[in-house]
Structure 1
């Protein structure tokens, strides 16, 4: 009876507590049910999400930085789960995707994070115990943290901050509040409010934290600093994180990220030490290999290249590392390139291509490095072909897109480059006398005979060895098997391999995965590709690969040389135009201003027609006058000396400037003096003072006014045409200023067509046929012309200092003219 009564009493108490408001609930019973009921389900849902992300996670070693935390282990400082970088998509199920139907007892289509959020909210609502405005159920803290994490991972950062703020108010005396502040900083960091995040993290760093909390803080703080672009501070915080964390895998990832940042800062020796630590602590084979590749990238000519090369070559032959030979050869190629051993580097990159593919991105990077070698040697067709191959196999999209754009630019440059070479050769041959031509082509024929003899010997050798077994039965061959015969890609006992379409399809896919798309040819790994590139190059140079019966006769080539002046002029114009385009491309596409300048100066020395000459000189001056004035000086002097009355010369005198400073008092005095001289018709003295002022104050706010005054002086001394050129340049350079507007108004008048009208001595207009002389001795201006001249004089008078001097920053802001680049 007592047992029955006890059960009834206990049930009554439980029912009574369940119905009570938060202020009247039992702390003990609420805590017990919170831990083993709804909160358990919330944590379980969140950990399910983390487990799936962990299983799907794959590091992207080609992005600028890796994430420190992965999804395989519990986060430091909490039993809920890892929490870094969950907004990143992964290779498997995307974060936050839906559960299967009826999973966790929820409706079909709900995501795991939504379930965790709902369960956490339910826990807070049902089991909260409030006394005097404070939460007395300790387990509610975990519910709020679970709620905040779920929302952060769903991208609901404001809602997460709201939950954390409520927690800090209701449990302000709880010793676990530093953990809530860490997640508060993380939410701000996810919102890109790095100032607020750093303020929170810095405050926590200076407080007395538990070791587990300090581990979590160091990681989040370092990543936030890095995202904010504070790389030096991030390196220091990563060093702290490396020391405070004891987990080997975590230490390895921290060291790897620190190495990436140091390498970006140009600190190769320190970066190598970090990557060596990453390799030392790595517990993942992929991580070990990539660490070795990064170590190789940090070597240069001052380091022990030979020792590092010997080490890498050694480990590439050991055990499972042998399956990654292509990656180690790529790393060796980078080391050799950094040490200045160009030929050796190219050899390693080719060896990387010859090995079985373990990482398509590495294969693409090897193609890229070979192509870059050709690009540096001006072999643009070969460079373009290897860049194409790199684009076709790369897996990291940002690099692939950039490389595709560069490939297109190389192809454009190649067309100009080989056109210039071809036309240069034709023009040089046309300038030779007959004896020189015969000597030149005799040598060419001798080289051609030697080349064909070598090819014939190779063909005979191949015929003699034809039929002998030359197959590749190494462990890397796709046809290798344990018994030394063809691998049976189909089911056993199904007959001849090539009769099984399924097996052939699988074998073809495997071949393409390893070697890429290859044409059917002998020595297809390399020789066929180079042969086709040579054919393309010859075609671009106008050389035929077809064996003509007369190819050993000098007359066969001499007959093709153009002799008439029209053909030679056409060749020269095409060459000069292509050279101009090539110089501009070097600067615009590859940012190689020195090579662009040299190419354009070579064009100038060949004396092209005036239009091309002016454009070349303008490009040289425009790309150099700010950063390398010495390189632009020759172009400027040619423009000012040989083409003084062109808009290009005006640009050289007064290039665009969008960075004017405040007006200088000396410049104001100079302007007043020069304007006074202009009004007194002392034009030469005024012009000299204006030119001196422009040279002394190139960034003064009065530069546009000096330029406009100079144009007015030119109109008085050199005529209408020169004035128009200078006004056009002012309208272009200062289009958003008052001077630019005035220049445009004056140009409209100066360029307008005014018909000449004849008048008698009294000013009456004479009509045709009234004995009007064919060539009058003098023309009296019409009333309209007088009005136009009066308008121009008014425009000139508007330049007086009282109305015109710009010395305020407000007027300066109107100057917003971009430079050419």
Structure 2
């Protein structure tokens, strides 16, 4: 035993020792480690899903952003491979006089680096690769190690360094075969990472020629095709896709199908043979081997028909694509979004909105595409709302203006359609009842047969209970068919019964029948009204005020639709039709001028120059003093810079709000609200006015203003914000109860000034600041002038930390002083004060309840 131990020593450089440890390392530890590594790589490949919608990565591996603690691993197989590599190094390493005598240790380090690399621990992997380069420069695996090191560097975003070292490797070493394929492919990925994609194309060509792995060859050709497509070199791209198609069953089917599809997207719709191309797509669809990829094939066929303006066929194939079970969320999102766009173009906004909702479920939340669709969907809410109003009110007004005979004809047709639909439904119910009767009879026969069999035991003796014959029990309640039959028979004989005592009594049943009869009478009466045309005619509004209200609501809906289509969707034709319809419907004066100005802008966008000039002349002639006329006459002056523009007026008014000139803000905002009727900027002035009234008159005035905005402008940004304030902020602001001084952390001293008292507030503040600076050394105090209401202004000292400190501070300012000779000097601050906590000060400002607070003191 000692002889064997001595002969296998790692410290003696003998032929036997070297070969013993080399063979043990290679055929035992490294063999098992490499098996674990390959198994882990298969798991990585299985987790990775090819996204053919984007440029494929050269290496099939998804980098996870999950963070693992030291000692943790993402994959047990890689952990095992790493353990085997470490064991080989520790147990079989023969480092004698600074040189490694076991020729397999460099392989162990390479395995160690690969295991860490695939486990996405790139820094430790880099350390393993560098260890080989430093200690085993003559290793036969040295070129592979250099390639793997740069792969790790690239994963750490060191692309420039990787490019320099790989280019040096290709220049200085004679590399061929798979090593050359790996080096050029890795270098190509580095170039792709730095957006030098033209350099990557030639390198991927070399990699494709030299790789021995067919799936890699297909990948390299596919990436080249994608890069050529990005560079709009369609013919070169098609050559790459053809190279993949020629490999057919030698490669994964996904590459074969997507090569066909990518090539199909390069079809020349102008000069190409559409008939032959359609046959080509049909062949892809009908090939049984392509069934797993029908979702993509259907989508491609749908795109072909949509480009030919065959919308009905396109829609059918988009829906076929959606019906195929697919994990490709991007494709589902594309299908839903395209269908949504198609319905939007047809003005079917509700259906479009539903498709956009489905689109978002298949997208990554908070991504840029998701936010674009979400914004489009939110804008569609307004379109749906106003289109519904416009459509319904148009319909009502149209019918109101018809002669009685035509109204009657319309509703007669409507009621006949309702009757036909009701008869069809009744027919379907009867057919369903017949089917139920057939099923019930079958169940009855089955029960009788089961009961007959149950009454005979296996020995032929009647009445013996059998639980084994036939594999189940014949007990009544164990048989679901029997139970169902019993329930039906009970209902037939007794009707619906409550679970209560004396359920058999006739009055119980009579009550049920009476109720049924009453319901039947009610339904009969409702049916008569439902199918009577006069019912609908009688429901039409006849009062002129009601009709005018419907017309005004319709006109405002048209105006809003014109603005939405123009500003949010850039759909100028739709916007034009809405504004023109509005002007033809005798709108209110407030809508006429902004509608004409918007039409002028739309005519300019659409190149309708004659109409634009005519509209411009109309505005200038009939509204010469308007800001729109001023803009048209002075086109060099931008609206935002025009001193009469809403933006500039609002900005100036907001400055007054910040200066607490609340009364002026309210008056000016009222003027602008009347002046800007129909303008999108109007709700901003409403918000400013509500805020100013809240500061001046208190919580109730603010709440009233916010409620008015939420009701009057429900679909504007300001209206939605107002509704949010009503739901979330108003309940909290409504609290009037004062808080205890013990829980407050900040306190104030208030000096009260009444309007018309003749007191100089600015002079008082100046004196107050001087006294604070002279007498208060240890607190960082500030002063402010706060409007309380239209008759009262506060001068407030901030920064005190207790109610006692606030009172003590005010008393200190009022205390007598002495001059340099010791004579008493009257204090400069003698005004009465109020000490109050900051939370309570906020409450009295919000609710204007200072007197209530003073009574509590």
TM-score, normalisation: structure 2: 0.51
1:206-225 superposed matches below 5 A: 206-207=171-172, 208-225=174-191
Is 1:580 the counterpart of 2:563? The answer is yes
- Checking the alignment, whether the CA contact within 8 Å between 1:326 and 1:352 is kept in structure 2 is yes
Change (3 A) 1:351 1:43: closer
- Find the aligned partners of 2:366 and 2:282 in 1 and give their Cα distance: 28
Structure 1 residues 326, 156: CA separation in 2 closer, same or farther (over 3 Å shift)? closer
* 2:63 aligned residue: 87
Q: Is the 8 A contact 2:221 2:244 kept in 1?
A: yes
What is the rounded CA distance, in whole Å, between the counterparts of 1:261 and 1:136 in structure 2? 48
Q: Do the aligned partners of residues 236 and 570 (structure 1) sit closer, same or farther apart at CA in structure 2, a change above 3 Å counting?
A: same
Q: Which residue of 1 aligns with 2:316?
A: 347
1:253 is aligned to: 219
Q: Deviations over 1:614-658 (max 9, x none)?
A: 799899999x99xxxxx99999x99998328999999984688xx
Q: Paired residue for 1:47, among 38, 58, 68? A: 38
Report the alpha carbon displacement of residue 264 of structure 1 after superposing the two structures with TM: 5.1
Provide the residue aligned with 2:25 in structure 1: 34
**Which whole-Å CA distance do the structure 2 matches of 1:494 and 1:363 have between them?**
48
Q: How far apart are residue 190 of structure 1 and its match? A: 0.8
Rounded Cα–Cα distance in structure 1 between residues aligned with 2:226 and 2:433? 52
Q: Is the 2:305–2:311 Cα contact (8 Å) retained in structure 1?
A: yes
Give 3-state SS (helix, strand or coil) of 2:137's partner. Answer: coil
Q: Which residue of 1 aligns with 2:627?
A: 643
Alignment partner, residue 226 of structure 1: 192
Cα offset, 1:86, TM superposition: 5.6
- For 1:381, the equivalent position in structure 2 comes to 350
1:151 and 2:116 aligned: yes
TM-score by length of 1: 0.53
Q: 1:159-308, aligned counterparts within 5 Å?
A: 159-174=124-139, 176-207=141-172, 208-263=174-229, 270-281=236-247, 282=249, 283-299=251-267, 301-302=269-270, 303-308=272-277
List runs of 5+ in structure 1 lacking aligned partners: 1-6, 70-83, 100-108, 470-491, 502-545, 587-591, 626-630, 657-706, 712-720, 733-743, 754-766, 770-782, 785-821
**Equivalent residue runs for 1:210-609 within 5 Å:** 210-263=176-229, 270-281=236-247, 282=249, 283-299=251-267, 301-302=269-270, 303-321=272-290, 327-352=296-321, 357=325, 361=329, 365-388=334-357, 394=362, 397=364, 406=373, 409-410=376-377, 412-417=379-384, 419-420=386-387, 422-423=389-390, 426=393, 549-550=532-533, 557=540, 559=542, 565=548, 568-577=551-560, 579-581=562-564, 583-586=566-569, 592=570
Alpha-carbon distance, 1:117 to partner: 2.7
Q: Residue 10 of structure 1: CA displacement?
A: 6.1
Q: Distance in 1 between matches of 2:332 and 2:219?
A: 24
Q: CA 1:110 to 1:580, structure 2 compared with 1: closer, same or farther past 3 Å?
A: closer
Work out the CA distance in 1 between the residues paired with 2:231 and 2:588: 45
Residues 205, 37 of structure 1: CA spacing in aligned structure 2 closer, same or farther, 3 A cutoff? same
Offset of 1:213 from its aligned partner? Answer: 1.0
Q: Residues 488-536 of structure 1: CA distance to partner in whole angstroms, max 9, x if unpaired? A: xxxx9999xxx999xxxxxxxxxxxxxxxxxxxxxxxxxxxxxxxxxxx
- Residues 650 and 726, structure 1, Cα contact 8 Å, conserved in 2: no
Secondary structure (helix, strand or coil) at the match of 2:283 reads helix
**Does the 8 Å contact 1:272/1:295 carry over to 2?**
yes
| Residues 464 and 596 of structure 1: CA distance in aligned 2, closer, same or farther (over 3 Å) | closer
SS across alignment from 2:286: coil
Distance 1:127 1:727, change over 3 A: farther
1:408 deviates by: 7.6
Deviation for aligned residue 1:49: 1.8
Q: Over residues 78-100 of structure 1, what are the superposed CA-to-partner deviations in whole Å (9 max), with x where a residue is unaligned?
A: xxxxxx5263599xxx9x9989x
CA distance in structure 1 between the partners assigned to 2:388 and 2:87 by the alignment: 78
Matches of 1:550 and 1:190, distance apart in 2: 75
Q: 2: CA distance between counterparts of 1:202 and 1:725?
A: 59
Are the equivalent residues in 2 in contact too, given 1:424–1:575 (CA < 8 A)? no
Partner of 2:157, secondary structure, is coil
Query: Contact 2:34–2:81 at 8 Å: present in 1 too?
Result: yes
Deviations 1:263-303 (A, max 9, x none): 55555555454444434325334544444444444445233
| 8 Å Cα contact 2:383/2:564 also seen in 1 | yes
* Counterpart residue number, 2:49: 59
Secondary structure of the structure 1 residue equivalent to 2:533? coil
- In structure 2, list runs of 5 or more residues that go unmatched: 436-469, 474-478, 482-528, 606-610, 665-754, 764-857
| Structure 2 residue 6 is the aligned partner of structure 1 residue 12 | yes
- Mapped to 1, the partners of 2:591 and 2:554 lie a distance apart of 16
Classify 1:572/1:120 alpha carbon distance in 2 versus 1 (closer, same or farther; 3 Å): same
- Against the structure 1 CA distance between its residues 652 and 465, is the aligned structure 2 distance closer, same or farther, given a 3 Å change threshold? farther
Q: Post-superposition shift, 1:374?
A: 1.1
Q: CA deviation at 1:187?
A: 0.9
* Pair 451,729 (structure 1): closer, same or farther in 2 beyond 3 Å: same
Q: Distance in 2 between matches of 1:13 and 1:434?
A: 112
CA-to-partner distance for each residue in 1:174-208, whole Å, 9 max, x for gaps?
45322222112111211122222233333334443
Are the equivalent residues in 1 in contact too, given 2:113–2:125 (CA < 8 A)?
A: yes
Taking the aligned partners of 2:311 and 2:540, their CA distance within structure 1 comes to: 37
Q: What do residues 300-319 of structure 1 show as CA deviations (whole Å, max 9, x unaligned)?
A: 52333321221232343344
| Counterparts of 2:100 and 2:624, CA distance in 1 | 83
Instruction: Indicate if the aligned counterparts of 2:176 and 2:210 stay in contact, CA closer than 8 A.
Output: no
CA distance in 1, matches of 2:32, 2:224: 38
1:169–1:643 CA distance, 2 compared to 1 (3 A): same
Q: CA deviation at 1:749?
A: 11
**TM-superposition CA deviations, 1:210-245 (whole Å, max 9, x none):** 221111123323333334444444444333333333
Within-5 A mapping of 1:618-633 = none
CA 1:235–1:641: 2 relative to 1, 3 Å: farther
2:89 & 2:120 partners in 1: Cα distance? Answer: 21
Bigger mean CA offset, 308-317 vs 109-118: 109-118
Inter-CA distance 247–149: structure 2 relative to 1 (3 Å threshold)? closer
Report the Cα distance in structure 2 between the residues aligned to 1:297 and 1:651, rounded to whole angstroms. Answer: 46
Deviations 1:21-63 (Å, cap 9, x if unpaired)? x999965555444334544443343233224445x34634466
Q: 1:764-819: CA deviations, max 9, x gaps?
A: xxx999xxxxxxxxxxxxx99xxxxxxxxxxxxxxxxxxxxxxxxxxxxxxxxxxx
CA distance in 2, matches of 1:448, 1:301: 47
2:532 is paired with a residue of what secondary structure?
coil
Q: CA contact under 8 A between 1:349 and 1:366: conserved in structure 2?
A: yes
Higher alpha-carbon Rg: 2
Distance (Å, rounded) in 2 between the aligned partners of 1:269 and 1:468: 65
CA distance in structure 2 between the aligned counterparts of 1:450 and 1:45, rounded to whole angstroms: 76
Contact 1:201 1:217 in 2 (8 A): yes
CA distance in 2, matches of 1:177, 1:370: 56
Structure 1: how far apart are the matches of 2:267 and 2:357?
A: 28
Q: Please give the alpha-carbon distance, in whole angstroms, between the structure 1 residues aligned to 2:263 and 2:645.
A: 64
Contact 2:415 2:533 in 1 (8 A): no
Distance 1:329 1:390, change over 3 A: same
Using the alignment, how far apart are the partners of 1:65 and 1:151 within structure 2?
Answer: 26
2: CA distance, partners of 1:134 / 1:647: 87
2:565 touches 2:571 (CA, 8 Å); kept in 1?
A: no
* Alpha-carbon separation, structure 2, partners of 1:632 and 1:233: 52
Q: Deviations over 1:436-467 (max 9, x none)?
A: 67798689669858977996998899899999
Question: Is the CA contact (8 Å cut-off) linking 1:426 and 1:561 kept in structure 2?
Answer: no
